[in-house]
Chains A and B, each alone.
Chain A
Amino acid sequence: MSTDSREALLLLGCPEVPVQQALALYLLGRLRADGFEVACAGNPAVLQLLRVSDPGRHYVGKAVEIERCIGELAEGERSAELLIAFAHSDAGLTFAATARHLLPEARLVLLAFGREAEALAGQTTFPCEKIVEMAVHNPTKLKRQLDEVFAWHA
């Protein structure tokens, strides 16, 4: 792991909600431009979606299966100063809560999206910054909120 670059980790949920894929690639581009080394954690399907979407490897760098990632966080073999967790289901919140516990000093931004976004955000019991939008197909509103949170301007 590099000692002179800033580490960010995207925790990706099930890829069944389309906005996740677009926003993950958007975050990879933006965060890399900001000097972050960004790793993605997710199930094999979501990681393959990202790899196939980026044949030139302009955006997708390190990618790790999410259970292995949690194990590495727990063992101190992986760290990050910025965590961005995607949650459109209870499982997504569960992984976010796990990462929060394992990296208590990290900045955690939770993206609650999908049809249950508001209910999910209301169930959050751990400290984090929340971005909440009932977006399923159109990522524009979530992108705008990300731009505000990270002070990115078009």
Chain B
Amino acid sequence: MVLSRASFAECREYVEKHCARYCYVNPGFRLFDKCMIGVPPIAIGVDGDVVVFPYTKPCYGTFLLRIEDAAEAARLEPRLSNR
């Protein structure tokens, strides 16, 4: 976990400032077989095979998570821009 109980804006800012490459997606985009929840544009970061993305729970706010998954990182590859 990168950030805990953060705001959605804080998570987006973290991805933009700290991830080597990132992309923006809209709510409903499927990542790890789940529909993304968020204020568009949703920033997703990729560092090597690690995907960094926000995950919102009603009672706990937004968490910024890191998951190493080469297949999912590769799927995001065409969308990515360098920081």
A98 contacts which chain B residues (CB < 8 A)? 27-28, 37-39
**In the complex, which of the residues A14, A43, A70, A92 contacts B35, with contact meaning CB atoms closer than 8 Å?**
A70
What separation, in Å, do the CA atoms of A125 and B9 have in the docked complex?
A: 12
| Interface membership of B57, Cβ < 8 A | yes
What separation, in Å, do the CA atoms of A110 and B38 have in the docked complex?
A: 16
| Interface membership of A144, Cβ < 8 A | no
| Interface membership of B8, Cβ < 8 A | yes
In this complex, what residue of A is CB-closest to B8?
A94
| Interface membership of A101, Cβ < 8 A | yes
Q: What is the predominant secondary structure among interface residues of chain A facing chain B?
A: helix
In this complex, what residue of A is CB-closest to B39?
A97
In this complex, what residue of B is CB-closest to A89?
B61
B28 near A102 with CB under 8 A, answer yes
| Interface membership of B58, Cβ < 8 A | yes
B59 near A71 with CB under 8 A, answer no
Q: Least Cβ distance of B44 to chain A in Å?
A: 15
Interface residue tally for chain A (C-beta within 8 Å): 29
B62 contacts which chain A residues (CB < 8 A)? 90-91, 94
What separation, in Å, do the CA atoms of A45 and B38 have in the docked complex?
A: 21
**In the complex, which of the residues A12, A46, A93, A97 contacts B27, with contact meaning CB atoms closer than 8 Å?**
A97
A70 near B27 with CB under 8 A, answer yes
What separation, in Å, do the CA atoms of A9 and B79 have in the docked complex?
A: 33
Proximity string of chain A (82-101) to chain B, C-beta cutoff 8 Å, 1 when within and 0 when not: 00000001111111011001
Q: Least Cβ distance of B61 to chain A in Å?
A: 5
A125 near B39 with CB under 8 A, answer yes
B30 contacts which chain A residues (CB < 8 A)? 74
**In the complex, which of the residues B35, B39, B40, B57 contacts A93, with contact meaning CB atoms closer than 8 Å?**
B39
B59 contacts which chain A residues (CB < 8 A)? 14, 16, 43, 45, 91
- Beyond A70-B27, A97-B27, whether A91 also contacts B58 by CB under 8 A is yes
